[in-house]
């Protein structure tokens, strides 16, 4: 969507309509690792070069003129090959390299899930503006400092290195009482030597030995390295630093509205004390590593444990599971608001978006409601404390000048969702009461723009898997598809699972790795032995309503006596591998700092047996154990999944400025426009930042040396 750079005139709705035209940024050339690359949007991908033209044959000398012969009948002219249909690429007609015929296709062949928002949104372009402002605005936090983007500013993830550790078992959707209160501690810095958290003497020695190399009923499974091969086992979690926990005590008023910072009272709960050290309350840390938001629009369920449901109920992340969730809709005369239950399909992004604003580890003082948040935000100027690049692909051109969030809501949504003065005979306005609806839907339509499809892999796939890969990268892809069995879980164009339209049933059955038995599980969620199952039940845990998160556990008929049991404890969602080079630290607990550590984990067959719930395919990769040099090939292939626009924060990944806390230090994340950060710089990998002593304003980006 393109925004005019001319001065904003007229009503905001007219200006926002201009966003609907297609973004076509000027191609920008840069050299990276010795190759020239061009950046393009999803709508204007760089096409592979045409095949070389064969040289014409030499011209023969003219023969003597012969007498004219009778004119022969003219042969019918063969019809020309039809031009590609609209939207069809030339490379789609190229012959596919049979060796990679089963490899995932390019991401631009995967349609975004269809979402019907016609009942709610009046102007989708205006909703994108609202959603992007919501996502990046630090005024959202109760302290006026924490935004959604605070944990998702770097390839959609968090690379902070100070005060970012929580104790194992401290996942936000897990038990209310934490069983492990010992951990690295608040305010401490991560170092390279701490990783991986579960370290082996020999990282490639197989974790599990099967008797006679077979998996037979009744045979014992013996971890062969439980003692002698474990060098270190740290059950801490690398999460994200959020807010200093306090009890919500109302809004601070200023002329014309409310201040960004809310009033808070001291809290002495066990959770708050967990992050207290030396008489100081440090910012709390989440119990799981932040997954990327890039490409999240394709998923059926979100969060590591899948608690953000595919259906959005307008209020919280529980979807149709929450039978009491209601929003407010005006009657036909617009005089009274009536409670209404809604369910919007393929809206897991909206379900996800409404959880952090009330999470008391991430952004919110204890006890704040969405109506409280709405009361504050609707009076505020969007991104008032931050800088928007004048060439921001959505927010540029002064489109936010002189506006409040209430103005943006009116431009984006239909009036029946905000026009009534007060609801339920109280003082809360309909706009405030429905703020969760606006927050979820607007952020969803914004994040649906964040599709990481400008990769070298996509170019290779679009060439029919013929052009653009080195021999090492091809070898890595072969391992990924064959011996590694990586594609069994990281499947399809998004290299993930639990994708809308993937043809998978919500509940499936698999033959387990141990005991030669079959069990039911939630498609796209697996226990792979990263940590002991009881440290974090993941999908096997319970939601805010006290009921199971797992579809398998919620359907008793699938667990009939004598039928398959459930394998859901310790299971987590299969994440996308796109941009995997830059989305460390890895796994749900952030326990690995490099891709090589991740590959070694799979090569040895995981860290822990977790016999009752362990997925069958994570049983080691003998090829990599026999020849560790092939790890380099697999890693080289994974690097081809890096989106070139993401690397430099170019559209659609450009954004406003942000200030984040890294321990006690403040780190400035600079704003970028549609062409990305200047100076030939790009974002850096987590392990590079870690090696330099941790995250700073300066070392988040750098110029890559040849």
- pLDDT digit string, tens, across residues 110-153: 999 999 999 999 999 999 999 999 999 999 999 999 999 999 99
Is 584 in contact with 156 (CB distance < 8 Å)?
A: no
CA distance 404 to 368: 21
The DSSP call for residue 117 is -
Is 375 in contact with 432 (CB distance < 8 Å)?
A: yes
Q: Would the pLDDT of 220 be above 80?
A: no
Mention every residue, 6+ apart, whose C-beta is less than 8 A from residue 397: 3, 4, 5, 6, 7, 8, 390
pLDDT tens profile 144-173:
999 999 999 999 999 999 999 998 865 443
CA distance 133 to 48: 36
The DSSP call for residue 423 is S
Mean pLDDT of 359-368: 98
Residue 233, strand partner residues: 198
Q: Would the pLDDT of 61 be above 60?
A: no
Q: Minimal CA–CA distance to 149: which of 413, 353, 311?
A: 353
Mean pLDDT of 411-415: 99
For the chain, domains (ranges, CATH) are: 456-646 (1.10.760.10)
Helix axes 630-639, 595-604, angle to 10 degrees: 130
Q: Phi first, then psi: give them for residue 320, nearest 5 degrees.
A: -70, -10
Is 122 in contact with 418 (CB distance < 8 Å)?
A: no
Mean pLDDT of 58-72: 44
What pLDDT sits at residue 184?
Answer: 83
Look at residue 338 and give its three-state secondary structure: strand
The DSSP call for residue 411 is H
| pLDDT level of residue 706 (50, 70, 90 thresholds) | low
Q: pTM of this prediction?
A: 0.86
Cα-atom radius of gyration of the chain, to the nearest Å? 27
Is 599 in contact with 635 (CB distance < 8 Å)?
A: yes
Strand-pair category, 246-254 with 658-662: unpaired
């Amino acid at each position: 969507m393109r925004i005019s750079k001319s001065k904003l005139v007229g009503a905001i709705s007219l200006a926002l309509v201009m966003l609907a035209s297609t973004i076509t940024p000027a191609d920008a050339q840069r050299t990276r690792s010795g190759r020239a690359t061009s950046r393009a949007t999803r709508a204007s991908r760089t096409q592979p070069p045409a095949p070389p033209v064969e040289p014409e044959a030499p011209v023969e000398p003219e023969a003597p003129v012969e007498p004219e012969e009778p004119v022969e009948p003219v042969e019918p002219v063969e019809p020309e090959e039809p031009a590609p249909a609209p939207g069809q690429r030339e490379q789609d007609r190229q012959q596919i390299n049979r060796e990679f015929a089963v490899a995932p296709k390019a991401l631009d062949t995967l349609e975004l899930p269809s979402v019907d928002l016609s009942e709610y949104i009046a102007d989708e372009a205006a909703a994108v503006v609202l959603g992007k402002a919501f996502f990046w605005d630090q005024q959202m936090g109760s302290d006026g400092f924490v935004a959604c983007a605070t944990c998702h500013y770097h390839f959609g993830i968090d690379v902070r290195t100070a005060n970012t550790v929580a104790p194992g078992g401290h996942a936000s959707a897990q038990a209310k009482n934490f069983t492990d209160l010992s951990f690295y501690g608040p305010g401490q810095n991560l170092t390279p030597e701490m990783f991986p958290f579960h370290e082996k003497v020999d990282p490639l020695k197989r974790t599990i030995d099967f008797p006679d190399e077979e998996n037979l009923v009744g045979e014992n499974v013996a971890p062969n390295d439980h003692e002698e091969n474990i060098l270190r086992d740290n059950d801490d979690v690398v999460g994200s630093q959020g807010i200093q926990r306090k009890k919500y005590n109302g809004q601070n008023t200023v002329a014309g509205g409310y201040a960004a910072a809310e009033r808070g009272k001291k809290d002495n709960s066990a959770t708050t004390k967990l992050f207290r050290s030396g008489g100081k309350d440090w910012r709390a840390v989440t119990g799981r590593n932040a997954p990327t938001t890039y490409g999240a629009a394709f998923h059926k369920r979100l969060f590591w444990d899948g608690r953000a449901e595919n259906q959005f109920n307008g209020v919280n992340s529980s979807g149709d599971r929450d039978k009491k969730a209601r929003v407010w809709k005006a009657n036909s005369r617009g005089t009274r608001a009536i409670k209404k239950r809604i369910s919007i399909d393929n809206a897991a992004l909206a379900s996800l978006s409404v959880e952090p604003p009330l999470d008391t580890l991430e952004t919110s003082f204890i006890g704040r409601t969405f109506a409280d948040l709405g009361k504050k935000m609707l009076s505020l100027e969007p991104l008032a404390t931050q800088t928007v690049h004048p060439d921001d692909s959505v927010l540029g051109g002064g489109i936010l000048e002189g506006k409040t969030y209430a103005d943006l809501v009116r431009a984006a949504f239909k009036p029946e969702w905000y026009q009534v003065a007060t609801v339920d005979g109280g003082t809360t306005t309909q706009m405030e009461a429905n703020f969760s609806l606006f927050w979820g839907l607007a952020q969803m339509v914004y994040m649906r723009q964040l599709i990481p499809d400008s990769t070298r892999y996509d170019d290779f796939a679009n060439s029919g898997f013929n052009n653009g890969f080195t021999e090492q990268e091809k070898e890595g892809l072969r391992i990924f598809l064959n011996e590694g069995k990586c594609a069994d879980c990281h499947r399809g164009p998004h290299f993930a699972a639990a994708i809308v339209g993937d043809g998978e049933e919500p509940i499936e059955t698999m033959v387990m790795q141990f005991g030669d038995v079959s069990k039911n599980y939630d498609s796209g969620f697996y226990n792979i032995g990263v940590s002991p199952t009881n440290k974090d039940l993941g999908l096997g845990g319970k939601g805010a309503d006290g009921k199971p998160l797992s579809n398998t556990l919620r359907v008793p008929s699938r667990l009939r006596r004598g039928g398959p049991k459930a394998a859901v404890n310790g299971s987590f969602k299969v994440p996308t591998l796109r941009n995997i080079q830059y989305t460390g630290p890895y796994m749900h607990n952030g326990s690995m700092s490099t891709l090589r550590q991740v590959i070694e984990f799979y090569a040895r067959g995981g860290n822990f047996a977790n016999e009752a719930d362990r997925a069958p395919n994570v049983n080691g990769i003998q090829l990599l154990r026999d020849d560790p040099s092939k790890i380099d090939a697999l890693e080289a292939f994974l690097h081809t999944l890096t989106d070139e626009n993401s690397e430099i924060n170019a559209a659609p990944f450009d954004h406003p400025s942000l200030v984040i806390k890294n321990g006690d230090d403040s780190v400035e994340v600079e704003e970028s426009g549609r062409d990305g950060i200047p100076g030939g710089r790009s974002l850096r990998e987590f392990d590079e930042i870690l090696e330099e002593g941790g995250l700073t304003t300066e070392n988040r980006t750098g110029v890559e040396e040849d």
